[in-house]
A and B are shown apart, each in its own frame.
Chain A
Amino acid sequence: MSATTAAATTDVAAAAGSPSTSSTTPPRRRSHLRKRLELLILIGPATVLFVAFVFLPLIAAGYYSLFDWNGFGPLVDFVGLDNYTKALGDPLFQGAIGHNLFIVVASLVVQLPLSIALALLLNGKIRGRTALRLLVFTPYVLSEAVTAVIWLSLLQPHGVVDGLLEGAGLGGLVQLWLADQNVVMFTLFAVITWKYIGFGIILFLAGLQGVPDELREAASIDGASGWQTTRLIVLPLLGPTIRIWIFLSIIGSLQLFDLVWIMTLGGPGGASTTMASYLIDRGFRRYEFGFGSAVAIILFVICFVFALFYQRFALRRDTQGAITGRVE
């Protein structure tokens, strides 16, 4: 279309005062039909893909969850909310929720302060900083599958970890890392920390780049101690980064699957079952598709409610334009 027609349509649209747009929208440059077509070409494919593989499956899961169904044949055995009450009443699933919450809380209590502290220590001039960043970040890019296999090897009875502890005269600390019901969650948490701590450090290092040196210098000229400067100036300015880390960490902890599935299959005796591993176990190993769908919906509701509240109350100011999506 030529520029002149574009200008002309603008006038027409303005004159017609089209009903679908408010007075604040900029004048249109294209005919209505053409714009429709362009939008269809641009958004259509992504929407179809997304609806087919993300949105509809979610709705379908909600529907299946009301049936007793093995994934084959017609959905006839309507059971209402039975699957939900059964799942929520199952001690194994209650345990799974507990294990996810354990990872959520442990991450907040251990990983958050640890990665901030390490980022503060590593911030500033240090020899080999680039190499250091690269090394620290390495475990994060490994797949959870590879991470699981690595640590399965390290944690074997009489394996490397046991050998090192004995070598250090700490043989008494040796445990059945993955086979002891009282130990396995702590072991998994340690592996998770190994894999994800570098991500936190890098994120906070990036956040610290946004804290001007002048502020810290001014504070210390005013007589603030190092700890006071950190607590009163650096940490508040890190606020947005901390809040996004907490968000990612909690969502990740609620979804924990690959690592658990490969390292323990949720065992021993359900001691490391997570919501997702419980879901896959019931759905794909026992073909309880209706029941598994109910578990999926519970998992979704937990993630969604958390995300909604968190975005409403904590993330709001940080992410305007990014997640809340205001443009212009």
Chain B
Amino acid sequence: MTATTVSPASRRFTSMTPVRYLAALLIVGVTVAPLLFVILGGFRTNAQINSDPAGLPSPWVFTNYANILGSESFWRFLGNSALVSVSSTAVAVDLGSMAAFALSRYQFRGREAIYSMFTVGLLFPLGVAILPVYLLLRQLHLLESWVGVALPQAAFALPVTIIILRPFMAAIPTEIEDAAVVDGATRLGFFWRILLPLSRPALVTVSVLAFITSWNGYLLPLLVFNNPANFTLPLGVATFQSQYSQDTASILAFTALSIVPALVFFIFAERHIVGGLTGSVKG
């Protein structure tokens, strides 16, 4: 072997670099091109799109976006989505963290059984329970109500919330709890004033996961809402698409605008999504 200052490993990596950039470029292209088409397509007319589907806007047309931003329905869908997602996340994280606290730091009979019950929830989709859930919501007069979407979504978000929070809370040293008790804190006081603040990273992660799941939810809004005034964004986009299927330019503008909130949220939350998904793996 020739003696060089470059180790074989790093030399190999250097020689791979062009391939690596090519792969990166390819992935970015495949990922971004459809999104670019949607965004740019919103700036074109239907005539432009029909004559050259993959072309650039010429001239740029702003009426599609302006019409949608000026329409009541887009903002209404956005507001409905926000209301549903924020409440569903709040309920799931509040109740989930309380349950995770009990399941991680209390000894009691039936603890593992209750925990197992929650984990089983992870294994099946909303679809499996949807018929009875629908009947239950009908009975509770929660059809056409945002509560009828937020509550079941929160219930289905509980398993992942508890599964991530429990090991996190269990890992916080008993000495801290003992110290709090010596200082006169009750157990609930310890939970509220010490454990919750210490669990903040995990709480952010589970909040982000619950929020995204709720924000992207389609099945439950589809079944619960018939009145377009109640639609959430995913349902609104899908309905808009089927109603105006001839007006491609408007569909693209509507879709592009509906992506924006998700992207903004994602840019801030990316770290937590990845952390949460891998964290739940490694425990």
Contact = CB atoms under 8 A, between A and B. Distances in A.
A54 B132 contact: no
B142 to A, nearest CB: 11
Contacts of B204: none
A42 B98 contact: yes
Contact of B270 (A49, A137, A156, A323): A137
A28 to B, nearest CB: 8
A136 B263 CA distance: 12
B235 A54 contact: no
A280 B274 CA distance: 32
B278 A56 contact: no
A58 B123 CA distance: 12
Contacts of A138: 31-32, 35, 263, 266
B207 to A, nearest CB: 15
Interface in B212-249: 212, 215-219, 222-223, 233-235, 237-238, 241, 248
A20 B109 contact: yes
Nearest to B189: A1
A56 B123 CA distance: 15
B163 A323 contact: yes
A284 B34 contact: no
Given A121-B20, A136-B31, A56 B238 contact: no
B116 A46 contact: no
A143 B163 contact: no
A257 B124 CA distance: 13
B128 A299 contact: yes
B260 to A, nearest CB: 11
B99 A46 contact: yes
Contacts of B21: 126-127
Given A46-B98, A50-B118, A194-B34, A304 B107 contact: no
Contacts, number: 320
Contacts of A139: 31, 35
Interface in B79-111: 91, 95-96, 98-99, 101-104, 106-109
Nearest to A58: B129
Interface residues of A, number: 116
B38 interface: yes
Interface in B246-264: 248, 251-252, 255, 258-259, 262-263
Interface string B155-184: 110100011001100100010000001111
A267 interface: no
Interface in A191-205: 194, 198-199, 201-203
A296 B184 contact: no
Interface in A130-156: 132-139, 141-146, 148-154, 156
A135 B109 CA distance: 48
B70 interface: no
A294 to B, nearest CB: 10
A164 B32 CA distance: 15
B155 A54 contact: yes
A77 interface: no
Given A61-B132, A304-B123, A50 B283 contact: no
A82 interface: no
Contacts of A21: 107
Contact of B133 (A53, A143, A325): A53
Contacts of A244: 281
Residues of B contacting A: mostly: helix
Contact of B283 (A159, A284, A296, A319): A319
Contacts of B238: 145, 148-149, 262
B200 interface: no
Given A56-B132, A251-B123, A307-B123, A134 B267 contact: yes
Contacts of B135: 60, 71, 289
A163 B7 contact: no
Interface of A: 1-3, 6, 20-21, 25-26, 28-30, 35, 38-39, 41-43, 45-47, 49-50, 52-58, 60-61, 64, 71, 118, 121-122, 124, 126-128, 132-139, 141-146, 148-154, 156, 158-160, 162-164, 167, 194, 198-199, 201-203, 206-207, 213, 216-217, 220-221, 226, 240-241, 244, 251, 255, 257-258, 261-262, 276, 279-280, 283-284, 289, 292-293, 296-297, 299-300, 303-304, 307, 318-323, 325, 327-328
19 contacts: A20-B109, A30-B187, A42-B98, A50-B118, A55-B121, A121-B16, A128-B24, A136-B27, A137-B266, A138-B35, A141-B266, A142-B262, A143-B215, A143-B218, A148-B238, A149-B238, A276-B127, A280-B223, A304-B123
User: 6 tightest CB-CB pairs across the interface, nearest first?
Assistant: A322-B283, A143-B216, A145-B234, A53-B155, A57-B132, A57-B129
